[in-house]
């Protein structure tokens, strides 16, 4: 890449144009339906927020409406765990793409209970175990952390989603007990799952997400406040993992067409990091066959391609 991307003069109008376009596009897919609280979400929501490192905010559509962040929570959990634990963490969770669905169980058996990366469910459950072991109240530490990063004290977990995740969490429980049988979960499984389901159920808007992850675009320093959230090496590592595994088994295609570190969630959100530029967050609930939100993928693809933001 030659230098840093130029600040586009027409960024706000592009954000509006992409939301308009997304609203008109019938890309197919269905909202997540594994729990009633997500199955009932209106599929017509479309939001887009871009926050640049200089503080400029560009939003359109439903960018201020909070939604279930689901797997995007894995980024925050990982950043917290990396602060609390040294490189031993990487003996418990690896840094390779999985090539499997986000909740797949088969690979975990072959690989002796060591998940391929922190962004598949098994990896995020190991990270949740680290948080449960290192914090006396990991759930409240988690929500305080995201409130602080997003500068929004109103962020909270959606208790209906949290309860529902617990009720329908058999596959995640299977992953956790399998890892426990290999000695890769230290705390009691119900407590670890409770934390994992809690963090998935936190609700944030596109604006919250774009603001909270600014430090990943700025070598670990939060742009708005100048606060160091993590060291530059940790920011690099999180971005590398997002690039290879953040979009599950669509990560290769996303790197090929977009070229940005990104994380999706089944609540319909995607957050994409543009180093030295800012953060893009998009939301639209219907999901494609990989469990990634189709319209949000399209809005981020268009934004990145039109402004030449690829890191490659």
User: φ, ψ for residue 160 (rounded to 5)?
Assistant: -70, -45
- Stretch of 1-9, 75-83, 264-272, 275-283 lying at the interface with ligand DON (CB under 6 A): 264-272
3-class secondary structure, 266: coil
Spatial separation of the C-alpha atoms in residues 220 and 240, rounded to whole Å: 14
Asked if 260 and 305 touch (Cβ cutoff 8 Å), the reply is no
User: Which position among 128, 196, 221, 251 bears the catalytic label?
Assistant: 196
Whether 311 is a known active-site residue: answer no
Closest approach, Cβ 167 to ligand DON, in A, equals 12
Map residues 59-98 to x or -, x wherever contact with ligand DON holds by CB under 6 A. -----------xx---------------------------
Distances (CA, A) of 62 to 57, 167, 178: 14, 29, 40
Nearer to ligand DON, 200 or 217 (CB): 200
Query: With contact defined as beta carbons under 8 Å apart, do 39 and 29 qualify?
Result: no
b/e map 16-34, b = 16+ CB within 10 Å? bbbbeebeeeeeebebbee
Could you give phi then psi for residue 233, rounded to 5 degrees?
Answer: -65, -40
With respect to ligand DON, which residue has the nearer C-beta, 59 or 121? 121
| Catalytic (active site) residue 31 | no
CA contacts within 13 A on the Cβ side of 5: 25
Mark whether 74 is an active-site residue.
yes
CA distance 276 to 279: 10
Binding mask 111-130 toward ligand DON (x if CB under 6 A, else -) reads ----------x---------
What is the rounded end-to-end Cα distance, in angstroms, of the chain? 6
* Residue 172 assigned ligand-binding role: yes
Q: Which of 248, 258, 271, 279 is catalytic?
A: 248
Question: Among 12-20, 148-156, 261-269, 297-305, which window interacts with ligand DON (CB under 6 A)?
Answer: 261-269
**Identified binder of ligand DON from the candidate list 67, 102, 254, 303, rule CB under 6 A:** 102
Nearer Cβ to ligand DON (185/221):
185
Binding residues for substrate: 71, 121, 165, 172, 196, 248, 266
The set of catalytic residues is 71, 74, 196, 248, 266
Binding residues: 71, 121, 165, 172, 196, 248, 266
């Amino acid at each position: 890449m030659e230098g840093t991307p130029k600040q586009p003069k027409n960024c706000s109008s592009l954000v509006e144009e992409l939301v308009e376009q997304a609203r008109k596009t019938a890309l197919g897919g269905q909202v997540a339906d594994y729990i009633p609280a997500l199955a009932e979400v209106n599929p017509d929501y479309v939001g887009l927020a871009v926050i640049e490192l200089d503080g400029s905010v560009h939003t359109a559509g439903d960018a201020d409406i909070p939604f279930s962040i689901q797997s995007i929570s894995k980024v925050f959990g990982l950043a917290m765990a990396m602060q609390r634990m040294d490189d031993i963490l990487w003996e418990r969770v690896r840094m390779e793409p999985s090539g499997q669905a986000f909740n797949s169980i088969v690979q975990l058996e072959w690989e002796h209970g060591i998940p391929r990366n922190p962004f598949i469910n098994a990896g995020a459950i190991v990270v949740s175990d680290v948080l449960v072991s290192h914090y006396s109240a990991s759930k409240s530490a988690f929500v305080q952390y995201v409130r602080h990063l997003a500068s929004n004290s109103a962020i909270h977990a959606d208790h209906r989603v949290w309860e529902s995740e617990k009720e329908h969490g058999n596959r995640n429980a299977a992953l956790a007990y399998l890892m426990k049988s290999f000695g890769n979960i230290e705390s009691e499984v119900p407590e670890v799952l409770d934390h994992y389901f809690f963090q998935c159920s936190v609700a944030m808007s596109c604006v919250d997400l774009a603001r909270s992850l600014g430090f990943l675009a700025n070598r670990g320093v939060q742009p708005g406040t100048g606060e160091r959230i993590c060291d530059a090496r940790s920011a690099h590592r999180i971005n590398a993992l997002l690039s290879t595994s953040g979009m599950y088994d669509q990560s290769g295609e996303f790197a090929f067409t977009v070229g940005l570190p990104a994380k999706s969630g089944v609540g319909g959100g995607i957050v994409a990091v543009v180093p030295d530029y800012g953060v893009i967050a998009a939301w639209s609930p219907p999901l494609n066959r990989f469990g990634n939100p189709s319209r949000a993928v399209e809005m981020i693809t268009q934004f990145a391609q039109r402004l030449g933001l690829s890191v490659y």
